[in-house]
Amino acid sequence: MASPSADLATVKQQLLDLICTNAYKEGDFLLSSGQQTSYYINGKLVTLHPKGGQMVGQVLLSYLDDSVVGIGGLTLGADPMVTAVSVVAAYESRSLTPLIVRKEAKGHGTRAYIEGPGLPDHSNVVILEDVVTTGQSAMKAVVRLREAGYVVNQVISLVDRQQGGAEYYAQANIDFQAVYTISDIKDRWQALQTTQA
């Protein structure tokens, strides 16, 4: 696994390998979007992995420019990601506030949709997602954080399934970046199967 001093290219390669060995499965699956698929990526098996979380934090932090002061996402997939990025950032003397967006307002107390320290109005917040298919899930976080007064114009995903998410964000004038595409993962998964055979 990557050491904190490993160069970013090495970390990205090791993270890709972890996704392929821990998160990627082939078979018959039903996605949250309602689509049937022949493969599934359980991003939480990487983002909740101790070394995986560290690598996710390192890699995603490299995608954030200096104007970004907050990182958010829809619970549950984004929870470990926003935490990992904020912790890695703190080790690099950078403050990034993690914001977790609930799917429904809390049923008690403040009845809040957003958990995390508040930021000033018009703060630049980027949405993080583990896997993007249609783009609808992360858009819920975009809408909620905009309603709270933040500027949200970018979504960054670990994996783009290349099933319409990028086009959806383009139509909404949201900058979308993915660390890996499904093609990257399938190619690397196949290569790892060959070397293990």
The 3 state secondary structure assigned to 65-132 is CCCCCEEEEECCCCHHHHHHHHHHHHHCCCCCEEEEECCCCCCCCCCCCEECCCCCCCCEEEEEEEEE
Q: Where are the domains of the chain?
A: 8-196
Return the structure tokens found at 78.
């984004």
CA of residue 42 relative to chain centroid, distance: 12
According to DSSP, the residues that pair with 180 across neighbouring strands are: 159
Neighbours of 191 (CB within 10 A): 12
Q: CA-based diameter of the chain, in Å?
A: 55
Q: Are strands 97-101 and 154-160 parallel, antiparallel or unpaired?
A: unpaired
Tens digit of each residue's pLDDT, the chain (197 residues): 455 557 999 999 999 999 999 999 999 999 877 889 999 999 999 999 999 999 999 999 999 999 999 999 999 999 999 999 999 999 999 999 999 999 887 665 566 899 999 999 999 999 999 999 999 999 999 999 999 999 999 999 999 999 999 999 999 999 999 999 999 999 999 999 998 76
Distance of CA 145 to the CA centre of its chain: 16
**pLDDT number for residue 1:** 47
Q: State pLDDT tens for residues 147-176.
A: 999 999 999 999 999 999 999 999 999 999
- Beta-sheet pairing, 125-132 with 70-74: parallel
What pLDDT, on a 0 to 100 scale, did the predictor assign at position 82? Answer: 98
pTM of the model: 0.93
pLDDT, residue 166, reads 97
Is the bond into 16 cis (omega within 30 degrees of 0)?
no
According to the model, what pLDDT value does residue 5 have?
Answer: 58
Looking at domain 8-196, does it have CATH number 3.40.50.1100? no
